[in-house]
Amino acid sequence: MIVSSLKIKIYVFLIRRNFIIFVFLCLNQTALAQAIIPNIAHQETLIDTKDGPKEILRKYGIDTEIWTTQIYQGITSGEDGGVSRYGGKVDGFLKLTPEKIGILSGLDIDVQYEHYYGLNINRLDDALVPVNTAQAYLRAEGYHSALSITATQKFTDNLSLSIGKFNLMTLASRTPLIGGGGLNTFMNRAFALPSTGVSYTSETGGAGDRVVLSSPYSLGGIAEYQSDQFIFDLFLIDPRSAQSPRVIQRPFEEGVAIGGGVGIKSNFLSLTGTHMFRAAYSNASGINLDSISSSGRSISSIEGSETKKGYWFSSYYFTQNLYQSQSDPDRGWGLFGLYTLSDGNPTPIRWSMLAGLAGYNLYQERRDDRWGIGFYHFGVSQQLLTSLQNANEPRQSEGGIEAFYNIAINKWTNISSDIQIIEPWIPNKPIQSIIAIRMQIRF
């Protein structure tokens, strides 16, 4: 009996001790989790921990980042209503700053690698331009990946020169208010890759692909000067899309494109704004739109028997904050607009315009959220419309609206919804509505 009583006391002691240890561990784990989770949520990327590998590499001039973006998009009304696709894109970024190890002062090297996965609804709708810019140029039926490399030399705080293969979608993503690139803000190419006057747009780089829209990738150089009040830039690039390997192998064999811009930074009622005027000219040849024989769904597939050399382009772009954070003027919301005018032959778009409201949500709890709503219209060249009418393929100008809201779950995860309503450039086609959901995680 004494032995049994002793065993019971020992068991009770062990149970009490283990219970106390368990409670102690739970309390400490809760405190630890409460300490860690807020830090993770406020990191710029998921793996950008304090004193972690990325922070150590940055000290030596090496900065890396990986984005993965999932997109589910479907046509909800119109002739193709009910069609939907799921896919996405992975972007890898590498930035080298040799100055941090004491060499090549002012030089930055930027590398971006992209790879697609899944499917998208581009080319399944009746729209003039892609409704999903992020997946428009990397796909199963075309190029699966793309690599862009640029080198930028800063001569002063105001003057810089960049050369290499540029990803213009990534450059567009830095545009105030409107953003670009199709990953986090507007998805339609009208907004996500605005016009610059460099106008070969498909991976084939053929004359029939000349549209007064930016190429997704360009090979060449850009010089830029920025002061507190003014912006000046000058570019000389190959007018074809640098997505084609031939452009890298034989640059400028079809001609050159040269252009420039003059910008003014405004501060109306202490609210920041930008006004940019641009012009471009190229000696490349395109299809003479008076000799068009056929088109198809896309304006990039027009065919003709004659060519016409040279084109010109001009544009005016503006942003104007209507409200902005006092502590961070870059965070605000306001108006934006872009108006373009071109030769109309061989450029298939005579004029275009887009305008809207966009920016950040300035409620403190949702300060990283972004939103936007905009309208666009492409005025198709009358020569092209007449030629297609004569070929029994009537077409018309196209317009549409788009709206999005991007919810920042934390610094490195966001979920966005997007809706587009488009009156297609193919006559007698019903108005299409297209809805999408996107999710992006940054590592």
pLDDT in tens, 382-421: 998 998 888 888 899 999 999 999 999 999 999 999 999 9
Query: Is 178 found in the same domain as 118?
Result: yes
- Each residue's pLDDT tens digit, 26-70: 445 444 444 445 578 788 899 998 889 999 999 999 999 999 999
- Each residue's pLDDT tens digit, 341-382: 998 888 888 999 999 999 999 887 888 999 999 999 999 999
Total tally of structural domains belonging to the chain: 2
Q: State percent of the chain over pLDDT 70.
A: 84
Instruction: Specify the residue for token string 């040799």.
Output: 98
Query: Is 54 found in the same domain as 37?
Result: no
Structural domain harbouring 141: 50-442
Query: Is 150 found in the same domain as 271?
Result: yes
Query: Is 236 found in the same domain as 113?
Result: yes
pLDDT at 26: 44
pLDDT at 308: 84
Question: Between 77 and 327, where is the model more confident?
Answer: 77
Query: Is 61 found in the same domain as 25?
Result: no
Query: Is 56 found in the same domain as 29?
Result: no
Instruction: For residue 46, give the DSSP letter.
Output: T
* Cβ neighbours of residue 129 closer than 8 Å, sequence gap 6 or more: 188, 189, 190, 211, 213, 299, 378
Q: What are phi and psi of 436, to 5 degrees?
A: -140, 155
Res. 443: pLDDT tops 70: yes
Q: Around Cβ 61, how many Cβ atoms within 10 Å?
A: 19
pLDDT at 307: 82
Res. 20: pLDDT tops 90: no
Query: Is 92 found in the same domain as 12?
Result: no
* Cβ neighbours of residue 247 closer than 8 Å, sequence gap 6 or more: 205, 219, 238, 240, 241
Query: Is 97 found in the same domain as 36?
Result: no
Based on the number of CB atoms within 10 Å of its own CB, is 228 exposed (0-12), middle (13-18) or buried (19 or more)?
Answer: exposed
**At 77, which CATH number?**
2.40.160.180
Query: Is 212 found in the same domain as 165?
Result: yes
Direct distance between the N- and C-terminal alpha carbons of the chain, in angstroms, rounded to an integer:
64
Query: Is 311 found in the same domain as 291?
Result: yes
